[in-house]
A and B are shown apart, each in its own frame.
Chain A
Amino acid sequence: MTPRGPARPEPGQTVETRIVYEFHRCGITHVIYCPDSATRALRDVVEAEPGLTLVPVCREGEALGIATGLMLGGKEPVVVHQSTGLFESGDSIRGLALDLGLPVLMLIDYRGWRPTSPATDSAAVFVEPVLRAWGIRYHVLAPGDDPGMISRAFAEARERQAPVAILLAGEDGRS
């Protein structure tokens, strides 16, 4: 397909800029966001980006409700929050995203992720088992990985008519 939005990012650009480029490739219209220190820079890039509407929420459980309405109305939202927010929004994930078969993309900051040693932060320990328990496919976007994974996950969600998560893994044990 022909990418929409800004020109393809150049090497050396920030991961946030490259993520926003992927949003444009997918035709994302709204970024539903709950505050998280690790994705603060992404929030700022989104807020300044023409063609993307930032929807800040007070708590993560709201996000999938808003995403449901946006998708019913023909828009393309993405949900961005921390792994702790995944736990908080469990009933919305079950009752909306899973029961309704919502092909929504969730970008989840993988708090406490460690590349080479077992996680000790419970926010990291439980996130993958919880996603597996819900039957939600997910992919880990680790430092150095190609953010093109986001577009592939978006397509995967459409194909499966189900939510798909990208776990944004940052520096060792951040957040």
Chain B
Amino acid sequence: MIDHLRALEIISRHRGDAVVVTTMSAGFVWPKVSANPGLDLMHSDAMGKISSVGLGLALALPDRRVIVLDGDGSLLMNLGTLVTIAHMAPRNLLHFVLGNDTYLTSGSQSIPNAGRIDFAGLAAAAGYAGAHRFEDGESLGRDLAAITAQPGPTFVYLKVGPAWTASRARNTPARAMLSRFRAALWEAYRRMRPPATGAVGSSDDRALAARIEKLRARESSGGAGGCGP
């Protein structure tokens, strides 16, 4: 079993410039270890759906790694997401599940069939490109760099202890959080240097940056969408 906080510290060390989306227990603790909070999005108020949000981001930003920090209880509320992610097959998606066999934030009730679910096996059977399970921090720290170097979608189940919940606090108001995250994302793309000639996806990157700028200008002007009668 890996200490919950240590598991997140190890993930943070391997994060790079990834966007990180979090929910529930991991989301409450992640701010303690995150080195790039601007590109963190925490949302717990549509139970189980953070992996779906991560999938959408991964499809929209194919040249940036997207990390999902999910919980076992959360994943069970949206289990079909494994198949949907496998079908869309985003190479840049890294899906962690921090497993403590409980619905911690609702009072530590056990998840159904606790202790007997092979989550990595479910992901592998759904069609993820890679699926892994870790029960000790040493192995995770040793292998995570190699795992992140592989094309995704990749699933990593971490058997963790109870989360440190003293940091649990009311979420930042949802719209404020979203605005902050979106602004950081736009800033990240504005700062992005033109990739070297011949770099994979370079034209996509520039097109995306231009598109995001256009959307930002349109929304900041308070105007309508780009279509209409």
Of A7-15, A95-103, A107-115, the one with at least 4 CB within 8 A of chain B: A95-103
Taking residues whose C-beta sits less than 8 angstroms from the other chain, chain A's interface range is 35 or more
* Secondary structure dominating the interface of B: helix
Of A38-46, A66-74, A120-128, A132-140, the one with at least 4 CB within 8 A of chain B: A66-74
A73 partner, pick from B57, B80, B84, B219, beta carbons under 8 A: B57
Contact assessment for B185 and A73 in the assembled complex, using a CB-CB cutoff below 8 Å: yes
Cα A57 to Cα B59 in complex, Å, equals 14
Contact assessment for A58 and B56 in the assembled complex, using a CB-CB cutoff below 8 Å: no
Contact assessment for A151 and B53 in the assembled complex, using a CB-CB cutoff below 8 Å: no
Contact assessment for A155 and B56 in the assembled complex, using a CB-CB cutoff below 8 Å: no
Residue of A nearest to B44 (CB): A95
Q: A50-81: which residues lie under 8 A (CB-CB) from chain B?
A: 53, 55-59, 61-75, 77
- Check if B104 is an interface residue, CB within 8 A of chain A: no
Contact assessment for A91 and B47 in the assembled complex, using a CB-CB cutoff below 8 Å: yes
Cα A88 to Cα B126 in complex, Å, equals 23
Contact assessment for B59 and A99 in the assembled complex, using a CB-CB cutoff below 8 Å: no
Contact assessment for B185 and A62 in the assembled complex, using a CB-CB cutoff below 8 Å: no
- Check if A174 is an interface residue, CB within 8 A of chain B: no
Residues in B with CB closer than 8 Å to A25 are 227
Cα A141 to Cα B136 in complex, Å, equals 56
Cα A61 to Cα B50 in complex, Å, equals 11
Contact assessment for A57 and B84 in the assembled complex, using a CB-CB cutoff below 8 Å: yes
Residues in A with CB closer than 8 Å to B83 are 58
Contact assessment for B224 and A159 in the assembled complex, using a CB-CB cutoff below 8 Å: yes
Q: A147-163: which residues lie under 8 A (CB-CB) from chain B?
A: 148, 151-152, 154-155, 157-159
Residue of A nearest to B56 (CB): A69
Residue of A nearest to B52 (CB): A65
